[in-house]
């Protein structure tokens, strides 16, 4: 029996998960760390934190599972996307990593569009320039820290710094590579045209691999830190959203992954490098070899419900909060909620977008407001579905929902009715780390391909189909869609 580890280097913790050849999870361990906000809009992190947490988490999960370290057959990597790690010619870190949630690069995004042209940028990379992506961070360092840029020789993403510490190799998977917007999406590799326009030497960038390809083996020095034998294969893995889609089985066209956490992510696999012409959806390579994906991101999904609870009913558990909502009719008696509490990304990349209740009357009670929040978030997530359909994703047969919000049967029913699609739950709750472990097991030959790995290990545990309220939401959705354009001038003035 061989065992496989998935490492998830997230923004706030590194998780290690261990599975056996059948995909059964035998242990999971996590160690937290902070990130810094040294100036408004800035978000940075010391890469040393990731390596320290990796070594602790791997030692803990191997001990917890009680397996022989010599039986570890491979390690897969995943983690936060879009972060910038700069190393010098000796492989030493030059400055703290600039993270995905850093917002300082608005001017650099404009500069990228000016150099390439917005339409050409989207045509090559599948994406518009947004502050979260890696490319504008590089331009920011070029402009504001030229002494750092002059010493830079290697550009990595957070999980790939962990890979470098594991193997000594500079490598990246193609899903995370596409998230830098330095990729030629169709060619699944770095774009010479984009690199030339942004004055980034091609040899600064790591070699690219598919998610289930081996990228190197565990160094003796790293093995000593981790309590593992040297020589264990390390596999490509993927950015957290692509790996999470593997971990929930969203690896075929028509099966969509919906993560209903603080933020909401709608993820749909495509068989080719499709793009949304205006760049309102992210279009990246998948961790699955030869596959791509669309991704829409809502910044305040279950976070909207948490704000609502903490603000108006602090200390109330969610079951108590939602129980009376079942007695409120669909549409909350004419009340709509706009869930842009922290700005928005999809379909409106607008940091100044704001939340709103619209239609309040004296007839509305607190449960009406709660139902409107659930419905407003569901409408906002449907926006991503509609963009995907418009970009050529014709048939959405099933939505696999994960995250804290997925635990509510009521919310699952509202989602099914709003989307007009079957909502299912699955037996895997550790998405990204589990997906990384499956990619490693596939690369090691346990499964013939990623799709077969998902078929063998991931099962549907519950299903919710559209009901009678679907017709109500079809009438309300266009009204919801009209709120943002109507209120935008007021949001921006405020």
The H-assigned helical ranges of 169-272 are 174-178, 192-197, 220-226, 240-248
Question: Tokens 């569901």 map to which residue?
Answer: 378
Say whether pLDDT at 394 is over 80. Answer: no
Going by C-alpha positions, the residue among 424, 413, 425 that lies closest to residue 468 is 413
Question: Tokens 């598919």 map to which residue?
Answer: 210
What region does 53 belong to: left with phi over 0, alpha with psi -120 to 50, or beta?
A: alpha
pLDDT of residue 261: 87
Q: State both tokens at 358.
A: 């619209």
Give 308's pLDDT tier (boundaries 50, 70, 90): very high
At 318-355, the pLDDT tens digits run 999 999 999 999 999 999 999 999 889 899 988 889 99
Going by C-alpha positions, the residue among 3, 139, 51 that lies closest to residue 438 is 3
Query: How far is 305 from 140, CA to CA, in rounded Å?
Result: 35
Going by C-alpha positions, the residue among 408, 466, 396, 404 that lies closest to residue 259 is 404
At 66-94, the pLDDT tens digits run 999 999 999 999 999 999 999 999 999 99
Query: How far is 95 from 321, CA to CA, in rounded Å?
Result: 45
Query: How far is 306 from 183, CA to CA, in rounded Å?
Result: 37
Q: What does 89-122 look like in DSSP terms, one character per residue?
A: TTS-B-SPEEPTT----HHHHHHHHHHH-HHHHH
Going by C-alpha positions, the residue among 101, 127, 97, 100 that lies closest to residue 112 is 127
pLDDT of residue 256: 92
Going by C-alpha positions, the residue among 15, 170, 17 that lies closest to residue 79 is 15
Give 392's pLDDT tier (boundaries 50, 70, 90): confident
Question: Tokens 């209903």 map to which residue?
Answer: 260
Going by C-alpha positions, the residue among 385, 241, 388, 381 that lies closest to residue 304 is 381
Query: Which of 173, 176, 184, 240 is labelled catalytic?
Result: 240
Active site residue 102: no
Dihedral of CA 414/416/417/418: which sign? positive
pLDDT of residue 186: 97
- Mean pLDDT of all residues in 159-164: 98
- Mean pLDDT of all residues in 127-154: 97
- Mean pLDDT of all residues in 223-252: 96
Question: What is each CA distance from 469 to 235, 332, 386, in whole angstroms?
Answer: 46, 12, 19
- Mean pLDDT of all residues in 217-243: 97
The 3-class SS string of 304-353 reads: HHHHHHHHHCCCCCHHHHHHHHHHCCCCCCCCEEECCECEECCCCCECCC
Is residue 228 within 8 Å of residue 68, measured between CB atoms?
A: no
- The C-alpha angle 74, 440, 49, rounded to 5 degrees, equals 75
Question: Tokens 């996590």 map to which residue?
Answer: 30
Look at residue 236 and give its three-state secondary structure. strand
Look at residue 283 and give its three-state secondary structure. strand
pLDDT of residue 420: 93
Q: State both tokens at 258.
A: 């919906």
Is residue 226 within 8 Å of residue 55, measured between CB atoms?
A: yes
Contacts of residue 290, Cβ cutoff 8 Å, sequence gap at least 6: 210
The H-assigned helical ranges of 158-277 are 158-167, 174-178, 192-197, 220-226, 240-248
Q: State both tokens at 334.
A: 């004419």
Which domains does the chain show, CATH number per domain?
Answer: 3-242 (3.30.420.40)
Query: How far is 424 from 422, CA to CA, in rounded Å?
Result: 6
Look at residue 379 and give its three-state secondary structure. helix
Least trusted range by pLDDT, from 102-111, 297-306, 392-401, 419-428: 392-401
The mean pLDDT value of the chain amounts to: 96
Give 404's pLDDT tier (boundaries 50, 70, 90): confident
Contacts of residue 135, Cβ cutoff 8 Å, sequence gap at least 6: 112, 129, 180, 181, 182, 194, 198
Question: What is each CA distance from 434 to 124, 250, 263, 289, in whole angstroms?
Answer: 31, 13, 20, 17
pTM of the complete model: 0.92
């Amino acid at each position: 029996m061989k065992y496989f580890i998935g490492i998830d280097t997230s923004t706030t913790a590194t998780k290690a998960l261990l599975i056996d050849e059948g995909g059964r999870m035998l242990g999971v361990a996590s160690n937290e760390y902070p990130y810094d906000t040294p100036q408004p809009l800035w978000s940075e992190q010391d890469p040393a934190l990731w390596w320290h947490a990796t070594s602790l988490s791997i030692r803990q999960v191997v001990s917890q599972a009680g397996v022989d370290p010599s039986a570890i057959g491979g390690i897969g990597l995943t983690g936060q996307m879009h972060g910038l790690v700069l190393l010098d010619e000796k492989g030493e870190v030059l400055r703290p990593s600039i993270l995905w949630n850093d917002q300082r690069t608005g001017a650099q995004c404009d500069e990228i569009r000016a150099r390439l042209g917005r339409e050409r940028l989207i045509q090559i990379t599948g994406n518009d320039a947004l502050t979260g992506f890696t490319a504008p961070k590089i331009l920011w360092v070029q402009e504001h820290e030229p002494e750092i840029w002059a010493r830079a020789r290697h550009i990595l993403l957070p999980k790939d710094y962990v890979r470098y510490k594991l193997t000594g190799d500079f490598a990246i998977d193609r899903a995370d590579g596409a998230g830098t917007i330095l990729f030629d999406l169709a060619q699944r590799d770095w774009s010479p045209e984009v690199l030339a326009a942004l004055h980034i030497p091609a040899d600064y960038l790591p070699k690219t691999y598919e998610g289930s390809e081996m990228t190197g083996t565990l160094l003796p020095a790293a093995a000593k830190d981790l309590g593992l034998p040297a020589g264990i294969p390390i596999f490509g893995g993927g950015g957290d959203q692509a790996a999470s889609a593997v971990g929930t089985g969203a690896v075929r066209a028509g099966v969509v992954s919906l993560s209903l956490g603080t933020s909401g992510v709608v993820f749909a696999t495509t068989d080719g490098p499709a793009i949304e012409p205006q760049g309102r959806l992210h279009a990246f390579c998948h961790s699955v070899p030869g596959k791509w994906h669309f991704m829409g991101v809502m910044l305040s999904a279950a976070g909207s419900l948490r704000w609502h609870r903490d603000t108006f009913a602090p200390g109330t558990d969610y079951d108590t909060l939602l129980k009376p909502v079942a007695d409120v009719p669909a549409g909350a008696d004419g009340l709509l909620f706009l869930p842009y509490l922290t700005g928005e990304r999809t379909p409106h990349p607008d940091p100044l977008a704001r939340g709103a209740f619209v239609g309040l009357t004296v007839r509305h009670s607190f449960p009406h407001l709660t139902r409107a929040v659930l419905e407003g978030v569901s409408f906002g997530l449907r926006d991503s579905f509609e963009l995907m359909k418009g970009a050529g994703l014709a048939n959405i047969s099933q939505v696999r929902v994960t995250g804290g919000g997925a635990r509510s049967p009521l919310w699952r029913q509202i989602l099914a009715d709003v989307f007009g699609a079957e909502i299912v739950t699955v037996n895997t709750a550790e998405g990204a780390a589990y997906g990384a472990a499956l990619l490693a097991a596939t690369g090691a030959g346990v499964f013939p391909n990623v799709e077969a790995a998902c078929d063998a290990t991931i099962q549907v545990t519950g299903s919710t189909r559209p009901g009678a309220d679907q017709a109500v939401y079809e009438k309300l959705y266009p009204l919801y869609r009209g709120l943002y354009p109507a209120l935008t001038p007021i949001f921006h003035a405020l």
